[in-house]
Amino acid sequence: MNGNGHRPPLAFPASVPIVGQPFALAYWHVEIVLMCKCERPLPVVIIGQPKQAAGQCQSCGKVYGLAAIGIEPRTGQPQFQFSIATPAPADAVTDEVTS
């Protein structure tokens, strides 16, 4: 995966009620910059909505995806869940040749 690429919009209900909060989320779009903890750390930019947004470390190839966003009921602060995919080692990848 190179860059973030284009993804279709996420089907989203008119609003999502947030338990314990006096509002409902109608839409959100996030921009997150995180630092990979690989040998040569580089910033990874994740832009978009949960389950659609992903960014890749250009140093090690790990892909970080935004899996979910929630609100901590006690503090009202946002919480983020990420998925991490580690690429297969280069020697484990085989090329297929079709004729």
Q: Does residue 7 fall inside a structural domain?
A: no
- On the question of pLDDT at 70 being above 60, the answer is yes
Q: What is the pLDDT of residue 4?
A: 52
Q: What is the pLDDT of residue 36?
A: 93
Cβ contact 84:62 at 8 Å: yes
Q: What is the pLDDT of residue 12?
A: 46
Determine the structural domain holding residue 46 and report its residue range.
16-92
For the residues 76-99, what does the mean pLDDT come to? 70
Q: Does residue 37 fall inside a structural domain?
A: yes
Phi and psi for 21 in degrees, rounded to 5? -115, 145
pLDDT: is 74 or 7 the higher one? 74
| AA letter at 40 | R
Q: How far is CA 47 from CA 4, 19, 20, 29, 98, in A?
A: 8, 26, 27, 7, 36
- On the question of pLDDT at 60 being above 50, the answer is yes
Q: Does residue 36 fall inside a structural domain?
A: yes
Choose among 31, 29, 26: nearest CA to 43: 31
Domains of the chain: total: 1
**Can you tell me the distance from the alpha carbon of 76 to that of 91, in angstroms, rounded to the nearest whole number?**
47
Q: Does residue 11 fall inside a structural domain?
A: no
For the residues 29-50, what does the mean pLDDT come to? 88
Q: Does residue 99 fall inside a structural domain?
A: no
Q: What is the pLDDT of residue 39?
A: 92
Q: Does residue 5 fall inside a structural domain?
A: no
Q: What is the pLDDT of residue 96?
A: 53
